[in-house]
Structure 1
Amino acid sequence: MAIAVDANQSAFTAIETRVLNATKFAIEKWGVSRFTVADVCDLAGVSRATLYRMFPGGKEVLLEALHVRSLDEFFTTLLDRAEGAKSLEDLLVRCIVSATTELRNDQHLAMMLATEPGTTLMQFTIDGLSRIVRVAAAYLAPHVANFLPKREADALVEVLARLV
């Protein structure tokens, strides 16, 4: 069974996207701790050698790439919805509403929280919070800086990322 490729995911090649889609599907089917690289290879229709060339380090590197892609998709959606904000307040409201809506409606996240809450919550706290703050800063700080000095914009984005 091959996993489909979404052409909008341009940060990764088509084959990398197929492998990441297969990884997400494998996690949904078997869970983070039970899926294997062989499962992903079968789902994506690639050899283990191909997967390891793209993601040296195997499962952990694959999971990290999936997290990076998910954050990219999340913040791209958030920025699309924040487009056209006329004030700092408007920008913050749009960002918070978008983030809350996206998190609430994320079926993959809901399934992960239901089946593997410890592993999933660690990606939002201990293991993943610094990455989330860095990505949020890269995406949001330039937009917040339209309304505040850079240093204040950076601080506000960090607080916002930690709260939402």
Structure 2
Amino acid sequence: MADEPHTRWGHDAPSSFEEARKRLIRATEVCFEKFGVHKATVGDIALQAQVSRPTVYRYFPGGRDELTLAVLLRETAHLSDELHEILEGIERLDDKLVEVILTIVRRVPEDAKLRMLLSTDTAGRTSSLAANSEAVLAAAQQLFGPFLGEAEAEGYLRPGARIDWAIEFLIRQMMSLLIMGSGNRSDAELREYLMMFIVPAILNGEDRPHDSNQ
């Protein structure tokens, strides 16, 4: 970039704001692998990216926490296509909800970088950041919003439930399952568990549409 001297960025300045952010996210991933998520600092990330600490904060004003969330969002983005395919192939709203949660809970631990973010010494902080992040909520809104809106329109959303609260609740429940595990349940058992406890918290029931005008 024009305002970045060539003594930074390894004599190869990024061509755009977004490219600079991507490089810092990659540097963060490298530092997490080197030092661990809990121990990596903004200084480590700056050194890895060959920039100053103020440069890191220029692109990520929230510092380490914002970078951690950026890594989380980057690593979960690849699930988006798979999850949308799942939603398109299922008719019942309760089944959609269960299958999306099941897929996330099963797929996320398969990713090495996401496992780091959910390790024992970092899981609590990662969970807190995710549940209170506007970026994470926006990503969840893109995924859950359309079919929760459909549920509301058709009278299947639990009476009095707000879609934004429902999405926040789902994020918190998924983080809990990812951090604490699903109790060695099989996929069939986890589906039953989700259908028994999570679905009734969100949906009114496929056979009992609720008239929101009453």
**TM-score interval (norm. to shorter):** 0.5 to 0.7
Aligned: 1:18 with 2:23 = yes
Distance 2:26 2:54 in 1: 18
Of residues 125, 128, 131, the one that matches 1:129 is 131
**What amino acid does structure 1 have at the position aligned with 2:60?**
F
Give the secondary-structure state (helix, strand or coil) at the position aligned to 2:151.
coil
In structure 2, distance between residues paired with 1:150 and 1:69 = 34
Asked if the contact 2:75–2:113 (Cα under 8 Å) also holds between the matched residues in 1, the reply is no
In the alignment, residue 134 of structure 1 is paired with which amino acid? L
- The one-letter amino acid of 2:131's match is L
If the length of structure 1 is used for normalisation, what is the TM-score? 0.66
What's the counterpart of residue 47 of structure 2? Answer: 42
Unpaired stretches in structure 2, ≥5 consecutive residues? 1-9, 11-16, 175-214
Answer 1 or 2: higher relative contact order, Cα 8 Å, separation at least 6. 2
Q: Which protein is bigger by CA-based radius of gyration? A: 2
The range that moved more, 76-85 or 94-103, is 76-85
* Aligned-residue offset at 1:23: 0.4
RMSD over aligned Cα atoms: 3.4
CA distance 1:19–1:158, change in 2 (3 Å): closer
Output the TM-score relative to the length of structure 2.
0.54
Q: Distance in 2 between matches of 1:144 and 1:37?
A: 38
Q: Which has the higher helix share?
A: 1
Indicate the residue corresponding to 1:99 in structure 2. 104
Deviation per CA, 1:84-114: give whole Å up to 9, x if none: 1323134223312321222231222323444
Q: Deviations over 1:15-44 (max 9, x none)?
A: 201111110220121023432333223333
Distance 1:149 1:52 in 2: 43
Q: For residue 149 of structure 2, what is the amino acid of its counterpart?
A: A
Matched, 1:51 2:56: yes
Comparing 92-101 and 45-54, the one that deviates more: 45-54
Partner Cα separation in structure 2 for residue 163 and residue 144 of structure 1: 16
**AA of the residue aligned to 1:139:** L
Say whether 1:160 aligns with 2:170. Answer: yes
Equivalent position to 1:108, from 100, 106, 113:
113
Q: Which residue of 2 aligns with 1:6?
A: none
Cα distance, 1:69–1:150 mapped onto 2, change above 3 Å:
farther
Deviation at 1:118, TM superposition (A): 3.6
Q: Give how far 1:54 is off.
A: 1.0
Seen in structure 2, the aligned counterparts of structure 1 residues 160 and 75 have a Cα distance that, compared at 3 Å, is: farther
Maintained 8 Å contact 1:78/1:99? no
